Structure 1
Amino acid sequence: MSITGVIAGAKIAGIAASLYTAWTAWRTMPDSVIRRKLMKVFKDGQIVKTIKRPPGTKLKDIIIPPKIQRVSIYQDRIQAVFTVPQGVNPEDVHKHLWLFKQAFGELVELEGEVKTFVLTIYRQDMVTFDYDYEEIAPKLTGLHLPIYVGRSRHGDEFYDITEFPHLLIAGETGGGKSATVRSILATLIKTAGERMKLYCADLKRSEFHLFRGIAEEVVNDTPKLHTMLLKIQKELINRGKLLDKAELANVLDLPEKERPPFIVLAIDEVALLKKEKDIMSIIEDISAIGRALGVFLILSMQRPDAQVLDGKLKNNLTVRMALRHQDEINSRITIGSGEAAEILNSQRGRMVFKLDGLKFVQSPYLELSKAKTLLAPYKRHTEALPLSPPVEETPEEQPIEWGGLQ
């Protein structure tokens, strides 16, 4: 072989080696690895669109997998965005979450409802943490009634219950429900102060003793709860008249000096009330008209009950927190999805938070003794004052019917 041939061969070999090195590097890049694993998940789960060939033809059916739009790599996570072909049921994506976890590990979240989905792969899990009001307080500025949920993998999660009214908290024993409710009410008390009146019903006599002397009332049985609800019912009517006279739609539209205090009604183990039709009727009416009148529900229970969370009440509980649930059926009753059944026994305080989608959040741990110290300055030594003065009717005024409340 001539020298020229040897040189040419060496160049070709060098180019081939460079190409092989580049190809090997490309194959082992996170972007490429993620794409390959995703395509395998689509194939294994049959998350594809299949176009059948006419009978008798030897050609194979056409298989169209989802299109991976991009893979973004961050310090704490990797995100893959993909779109499914027209005609693929979005539920086929979510029901194969277990396949995504097999491919990428337990620390994944899958978001999307119609065509575009985002798979987020986290490098480390959320950790438990203690409640620290001083740390979160600056972030709650400007919210009328802030609900501090906890920390997701994106940071602190909070919202204003006056904007997203009524909250359901559900979770089995040992899941962290008590500490979650405790921290939520403590935050409301410290931020709202005199702008809020708290009413509590503790039907198992185990949760709300902490708030005696702070709440306007803490009741432990259904007759007393019914009496308390009748008072709130009258207040709803009074506020309806107030808004009607002012020709306004929401108490927040009133001048601040004329605005009645917000009312928060917290009921633990609301499932025990499913046979109390009179009580449930008032609770349902509050869920329907409470936002405009400044009255908000925080309902909690260990096991979700489809008979309680039915119809109007369930639809009006716009925000839900599902801590550990016993099974997928119970999880679906609470949040319409099975994710809460996947929370481990060791993940105390972990929840699926439902507000504009689902996300995993770790709620803060607020120990009872710490809560007592935190709330001690708010203990009242005098009788609670009336919510607001009654609005007198003139002879020309007709009795008001307000959302079924007489």
Structure 2
Amino acid sequence: MLSEFIKRQKAKSDLNKCFMNADLYKIYKNSSGRQFFSYPKIQAVVFKEDLIQYTFTLLNGMDPKEVLKREYVFKQSFGPNIELEGDYKRFILTIYKKTMPKELIYKQEEIIRNISQHSLGIICGQNRFGEYVTFDLLKQPHILIAGETGSGKSTQLRSILTSLIALKKPHELELYLGDCKKSEFHIFRKVEHVKCVLSNVKDIADMLQHIKQELDERSDLTEVFEVSHVDDLPEEHKRPYIVVCIDEFVMLRKNEDVMEILTELVAIGRTLGVFAVLSMQRPNAKVLDTTIRANLTVSMGFKLRDMIEARIVNTPGAHEIEHSGRFIMNSDQLYELQAPYLTLENAKKLLSPFMVVKEAKEVKNDSEDGSELSNHLLEEDVFIDAIDEA
């Protein structure tokens, strides 16, 4: 009992020293002129196997913004593995004893086991406790992934798509992939779930016109059968889930029709079973306007250039990330996670059971006046040898 008391007093003393170094105190003088230091009041200290957690309240008149501004002092005092959260008066400081691995190898069996609890499970990564964090795309639709070259963004896209393919059958899930950089998605071309892998801006625009037509059809069906979600349609009218994934979609920003369709997709796609995964290296407020941002319910910010980019993606602290594969995720709360690392070679092996020989197909979209929009191949059976070998 005494040792527990001493341990608690030592912990309080450590935090008070941190308050002193962070200039978080008030000075009072008694009648004799002697000075006294008054620190934020430590309400509780909780010791757990993996962490120490403090709860403290500010003195009246203290600016809560100053606490967050001085988070670096808390890291200097207790190490980098901390979380500091609070409001206008009450704060919680959590000091973690464990650190996340600098690399997390993709293990499909473990990942599928964790995402199979969801209707359309998305693998995010592991937290500092070694726990996988996942979510259901049906409940938290649409994802924004941002990060500099080499930050782990591309590997995260690869992990998400590979996991979805392993989780769902082709009649349950269709993937439409736009690869504006012409470097990420070629390994998915022959996968049965994948309806197209396109890199030309015009072809991607045509593909999105097809998605727009699909949205309209599904919307009509829900109205005819008076249901709120496509999952509730009669069996003979059920449609597969659709995931539209576009890498470096900022390259489409000059095409107003494309941006309009993407805005509509993220606004109404959830109830229609159509979801977007959008990624970019350099977040831009003009591209990510308030309408799109408001509907991208999950943001994953890998290493970003500065605080402005981190703010655009809504992942505070992403500009301070030091390790590849580490990211801040903002969904129902903020997470710091390590993404699974899936190499290109291992992805090919995992995808090989789902490869098929595809026939060339064209999808025709009709405009309002009946004229035919440009056609594009949604499935390909002829590939450049170099890509096949890659």
Change (3 A) 1:257 1:120: farther
Whichever residue aligns with residue 113 of structure 2, its letter is P
Q: Is the Cα–Cα contact under 8 Å of residues 203 and 269 in structure 1 kept in the other structure?
A: yes
Q: SS at the partner of 2:329?
A: strand
SS in 2 for 1:216: strand
- Aligned partners of 2:9, 2:360: CA distance in 1, in Å? 65
Alpha-carbon distance between aligned partners in 1 of 2:13 and 2:235, rounded to the nearest angstrom: 59
Return the offset for 1:348: 1.2
Q: Distance in 1 between matches of 2:217 and 2:67?
A: 50
Q: 1:80 to 1:381 in 2, by over 3 A?
A: same
Mapping of 1:68-147 within 5 angstroms?
68-84=42-58, 90-113=64-87, 115-127=89-101, 128-147=103-122
Q: In proportion to residue count, which structure has more strand?
A: 2
Which of 321, 336, 340 is matched with 1:343 structurally? 321
Kindly tell me: are residues 358 and 93 of structure 1, through their superposed partners in 2, closer, same or farther at Cα, counting changes over 3 Å?
farther
> What are the Cα deviations for residues 59-117 of structure 1, in whole angstroms up to 9, with x where unaligned?
99998754323222222222222344566554433222111101101111223455543
The answer to whether 1:382 aligns with 2:358 is yes
Do the aligned partners of residues 63 and 250 (structure 1) sit closer, same or farther apart at CA in structure 2, a change above 3 Å counting? farther
1:301 counterpart residue number: 280
Task: Give secondary structure in 1 for the equivalent of 2:167.
Answer: helix
- Give the 3 Å change call, closer, same or farther, for CA 60–294 of structure 1 in structure 2: farther
**How far apart are 1:237 and its partner, in Å?**
0.4
The code of the aligned residue for 1:234 comes to Q
Structure 2 length as normaliser, TM-score? 0.83
The one-letter code sitting in structure 1 at the alignment partner of 2:78 is: F
Any conservation in 2 of the 1:216–1:384 contact (CA below 8 Å)?
Answer: no
Q: Which of 189, 197, 201 is equivalent to 1:222?
A: 201
Specify the code of the residue in structure 2 equivalent to 1:343: I
Structure richer in helix, relative to its length: 1
Cα distance in structure 1, aligned partners of 2:58 and 2:349: 53
- How do 1:136-215 and structure 2 match up within 5 A? 136-154=111-129, 155-194=131-170, 195-214=172-191, 215=194
What is the distance in 2 between the residues matched to 1:285 and 1:343? 33
Q: Which residue of 1 aligns with 2:301?
A: 322
User: Among 241, 248, 270, which residue is 2:220 paired with?
Assistant: 241
Are the structure 2 counterparts of residues 239 and 34 from structure 1 closer, same or farther at C-alpha, using a change threshold of 3 Å? same
Structure 1 residue 255, shift from structure 2 partner: 4.6
Q: 1:60 to 1:196 in 2, by over 3 A?
A: farther
- Contact 2:300 / 2:315 at 8 angstroms: preserved in 1? no
Residue 374 (structure 1) shift: 0.2
Q: Give the superposition deviation at 1:174.
A: 1.1
- Superposed, 1:387-402 pairs within 5 Å as none
Q: How many residues of Structure 1 are paired with residues of Structure 2 in the alignment?
A: 357
Identity, in percent, stands at 40
1:255-293 CA-to-partner distances (Å, cap 9, x unmatched) read: 555421111000001122222211111101101111111
Task: Write the distance in 2 (CA, Å) between the matches of 1:84 and 1:343.
Answer: 29
1:275 corresponds, among 240, 244, 254, to 254
Q: Is the 8 A contact 2:28 2:38 kept in 1?
A: no
1:357 and 2:336 matched: no
Work out whether residues 315 and 330 of structure 2, in 8 Å CA contact, stay in contact via their aligned partners in 1: no
Counterpart CA distance in 2 for 1:267 and 1:239 is 22
CA distance in 1: counterparts of 2:61 and 2:174, whole angstroms: 51
In structure 2, what is the Cα distance between the partners aligned to 1:279 and 1:273? 7
Counterpart of 1:151 in structure 2: which amino acid?
Q
Q: 1:150, CA displacement in angstroms?
A: 0.8
Cα distance in 2 between the residues matched to 1:64 and 1:289: 53
- Structure 2 runs not aligned, ≥5 long: 366-390
Q: CA deviation at 1:199?
A: 0.4
Compared with structure 1, are the counterparts of its residues 90 and 190 closer, same or farther at alpha carbon in structure 2 (3 Å cutoff)?
farther
Match of 1:78, SS?
strand
What RMSD in Å do the two structures reach over aligned CA positions? 2.9
Task: Report whether the alignment pairs 1:367 with 2:338.
Answer: no
SS of aligned partner of 1:199: strand
* Structure with greater Cα Rg: 1
Can you list the C-alpha shifts for 1:166-197, whole angstroms capped at 9, x where unaligned? Answer: 10111111111111110011111111222111
Q: How far 1:220 sits from its partner (Å)? A: 0.3
Q: CA deviation at 1:253?
A: 2.6
Pair 1:156–1:111, CA change in 2 (3 A):
farther
- In structure 2, C-alpha distance between the alignment counterparts of 1:134 and 1:386, rounded to whole Å: 36
| 1-structure distance, mates of 2:99, 2:298 | 24
SS at match of 1:267: strand
